[in-house]
Amino acid sequence: MDPLSDVLSLLKLRSYVSGGFDAGGDWAISFGPHDGIKFHAVVNGSCWLSVEGELPVQVSAGECFLLPRGRPFRVASDLSVEPVHVSTILPPKPSGRIHTHNGGGDYLSIGGYFTLSEGQSELLLNVLPPLLHIRDRPGSATLHWCVERMRQELLEGQPGDFIVAQQLATIVLVQALRLYLSDRTTEEAGWLSALADKRLGAAVAAMHEAPGQRWTLHTLAREAGMSRTAFAVTFKERVGLSPMEYLTRWRMMQAADRLTSTRQSLAEIGLALGYESEKSFSTAFKRVMNCSPRQYGRRQGDPGVSGLRFAPEMERSPSFV
């Protein structure tokens, strides 16, 4: 798999389509903090989006937005309209259908959210901005097709429609991330940024494909087709970590997954990921994950513990996005 697919698979991405929102006249809805990534695709009309700490943006038909950081936000026909909280107009649980507000007819959107493995979700969320506004432009055809099919599934009420809509939502996320990558500037840091650079992306892909190989700065630079010095400097600037720091972090993400999904021993996991002894593997794991491999495994196995958290858990409000 490619690195983006690797990460999304490792994070056990699941998509949920809350339904559609058909509004008419003047309206404004506020949302509290949320977990995971919310998405919202505008089918007809336009809306204003105001995310806490960000400048308001207008989102038009054919465009969508993702909210990876869980900040409170507001969606409105006009920002001067007094908002009502989403819980007062929508059912507490996703309906998978289109909800009409103020008679509908002027604005239609479809939305939902994505959940990620809680103990490792920061691997993706921390490298994304609070708001991803995906504008309508060449290359958006697949995104448009998926949103239209989601609308049809919600309207027609065919057997299995909710499952189909969920799978389409996953494609929407991947397409949105692709479009976001193609627009990124060189000043932005994070492993996702490296994928937009063919040379750095080749090195990242090599590390993902063979995390247990005895990589050195020299061999990784060779994968990128760069000199060792240029590769080290460029990688650090774009990713925010040195190549070897990134490699260690990716190995520990793999280790965390194996600790909870396989019966491999610590020595077997360490050896598969390039560590010659259980001690060296455990030391590296504790440095990155802030606990020993055994402690991590016990926490994940405890039904009263939902995973290592890197941020306070936030309530999920009912929503159409």
Q: Where are the domains of the chain?
A: 3-183, 191-301
Give the architecture (CATH level 2) of 3-183: Sandwich (2.60)
On whether the CB atoms of residues 44 and 15 are closer than 8 A, the answer is no
At residue 279, the pLDDT reads 94
Which fold is adopted by the domain 191-301? Arc Repressor Mutant, subunit A (1.10.10)
10 or 253: which carries more pLDDT confidence?
A: 253
The pLDDT of 152-176, averaged and rounded, is 84
The predicted-structure confidence for 238-260, as pLDDT tens digits, reads as follows 888 899 999 998 999 899 889 88
Q: Which residue has the higher pLDDT, 120 or 172?
A: 172
The pLDDT-based confidence of 208 (bands split at 50, 70, 90) is very high
- Greater confidence (321 vs 57) lies with 57
pLDDT at 222 over 90: yes
Q: How many CB atoms lie within 10 A of CB 67?
A: 25
Average pLDDT over the chain reads: 84
State if pTM tops 0.85. no
pLDDT at residue number 186: 44
Question: Is pLDDT at 281 greater than 80 in this prediction?
Answer: yes
Provide the pLDDT for residue 312.
29
> What's the pLDDT at 220?
97
Lowest mean pLDDT among 38-52, 96-110, 210-224: 96-110
